Amino acid sequence: MTPEVLELRRLQALVQAWRLLAPLERPQAVYQAVVEAAKASTRAVSVLLFLYRPLEDALELVAAAGLSRDKVGLRLPRGRGISWAVLEGGEPVYLADVRQDPRVVFLSGHPQSGVYLGVPLRNAAGQPIGVLSMDTAGGVGEILPEERFWIQALAEAAGVVLDRIEALGRAQAEAARAQALLQLSLSLEAARDPLVMAQEALETLLRLTPYHGGALYLFQEGTVRPAVFSGRYPPEFPRLYVEHPVRFGEGLLGHPRLWEGPVYVEDYARFPGALKPYAERGLRSALLVPLRPEGRRYGVLALGSFGEAVAYRPEDEALLKLVARRLEEALERLFHLRTLKATREAALKALSRVLEYRDLETQGHTERVAELSLRLGERVGFPDLEGLRLGAYFHDLGKLALPDEILRKPASLSTAEWRVVRTHPEVGLEILKSLPFLPKTALNVVLYHHERWDGSGYPRGLKGEAIPFEARIFAVVDVYDALISPRPYKRAWTEEEAKAELRALAGKALDPELVGAFLELI
């Protein structure tokens, strides 16, 4: 077979694999589709899909078809099994007889003859993330040479699709995290009671981490006493602090090392100096961080699990430290009437970075339109400048729900694709309307910023002054920034070209008076 024919067959297999896997949106659906497709189109006895789990440094069997389908969930520690050779080498491995290779692990427990083919899965950066393998051990079958094109194509497509799903998941998780932190920051600004602040902080932490319960402990007369509990605790647990008070220097809460920074304990019962009553009540894992507003020892913010262990995750520690800092700042504000405006700004900028993470807008777009909207709103005497600014930050939040193939398409969109795009203002409103701190002004910007002065916009087709004033202000700014910014489908316009286009759109897409005010402003 010539190199040209081989390459053609490889490309045909890749196209077929991509068509099969690209529409899938859940990792488990990808896993199952891969092993079932490989099994159905070959005479392999078993098809196995392993993924690498960094925290455990192990390969986990996430899907299987054929003889080994009941082994899903199996974990192979580093160096155990031929799949590790595939992962570490980053290249396909073919064995004519698996009995002849000492690295092979037989999942049945009985060595049997057979052929093996394993290929690595790679993410978009080219790093191996798993192994797709097929074999004929324990049954009647064969693996033909040409089938390697199909198994490699499945592995290649699966790696890219799983990477895309994970990236989208990270973006959505970051959006949820930014939204939760923003809400917490605003709540802390409004609160006047330190215990209410602590309750808000703990509820946010428990939403974003796998821990069962959280508490704020305060130092009082040489003891460490709980001031706030949140989440799920054994019924009798809070009373332990009355019956068995924790003195400074004792146990985990009173440990002097705690003041050096966050402390994580996987199994409290094994912690040196663990207090027996608390271990007996099921306290298992704990993550703690000290609270030191103005540098003085105030208390401890703690997360805990009961019965089952919670593995250490750097993101949980980072989040706990971040929330602890927010709480310290809020406490300092109560002590000295200081503001937490900077905290809210950081969360808003984090949200804008989430939107730009998926290339929804040119880098810096959100912050630019927020600043320009404030300037234009102030110039025309708009009363709710803060609501206008919040609306500018959240205006395209609904685009997070759009598929990548539409969002990042460099060519013109089809009618059906445009129909999907036009839903993003309403999706954004659905996401945001339950947040009590967002004013009507901000929600109006999100919902109506694509309405047009002549009534040809969406989603409601409003016309003229029926469009909320704040949405008309933002629309002028949004169009201007889009014109002067590069996009996948166009170059950045010059300032003079953009001004000319605004004049052309005045009275058609945009409020003519606001266009005039904006042109004077810039």
Q: Average pLDDT over the chain, rounded to whole?
A: 85
Confidence of residue 245 (pLDDT cuts 50, 70, 90): confident
Q: How does residue 147 score in pLDDT terms, banded at 50, 70 and 90? A: confident
Asked if residues 303 and 211 have their Cβ atoms less than 8 Å apart, the reply is yes
Q: What percentage of residues in the chain have a pLDDT greater than 70?
A: 89
**Nearest CA among 440, 426, 429 for reference residue 468:** 440
In whole angstroms, what is the distance from residue 504 CA to residue 517 CA? 15
Q: Which tens digit of pLDDT belongs to each residue from 363-396?
A: 678 889 999 999 999 999 999 999 999 999 888 8
Mean pLDDT of 51-78: 91
Long-range contacts at 142-145 (CB < 8 A, ≥ 24 apart): 142/43, 142/115, 143/42, 143/43, 143/44, 143/115, 143/116, 143/117, 144/42, 144/43
pLDDT attached to residue 413? 78
pLDDT, position 339: 40
Integer CA distances (angstroms), 144 to 44, 96, 107, in order: 9, 11, 23
Confidence band, pLDDT 50/70/90 cuts, at residue 298: confident
4 versus 286: the higher-pLDDT residue is 286
Q: Is the pLDDT of residue 340 over 50?
A: no
Summarize pLDDT for 108-146 with one digit per residue, the tens.
778 889 999 999 999 888 899 999 999 998 888 888 766
Q: What was the pLDDT predicted at 515?
A: 97
- pLDDT at position 225 is 85
CA 299 to chain centroid, in Å, comes to 31
Lowest mean pLDDT among 299-303, 344-348, 372-376, 436-440: 344-348
pLDDT at site 331: 76
Helices (H), 358-463: 365-379, 385-394, 404-407, 415-421, 424-432, 440-448
510, 518 contact by CB (below 8 A): no
Please say if the pLDDT value at position 17 is more than 80: no
Write the DSSP assignment of 318-384 as a string of letters: HHHHHHHHHHHHHHHHHHH----HHHHHHHHHHHHHHHHHTTSS-TTHHHHHHHHHHHHHHHTT-S-
**Residue 352 pLDDT level (bands cut at 50, 70, 90):** low
Look up tokens 């490699």; give the residue. 152
Residue 4 pLDDT greater than 60, yes or no: no
pLDDT in tens, 456-507: 999 999 999 999 999 999 999 999 999 998 876 678 999 999 999 999 999 9
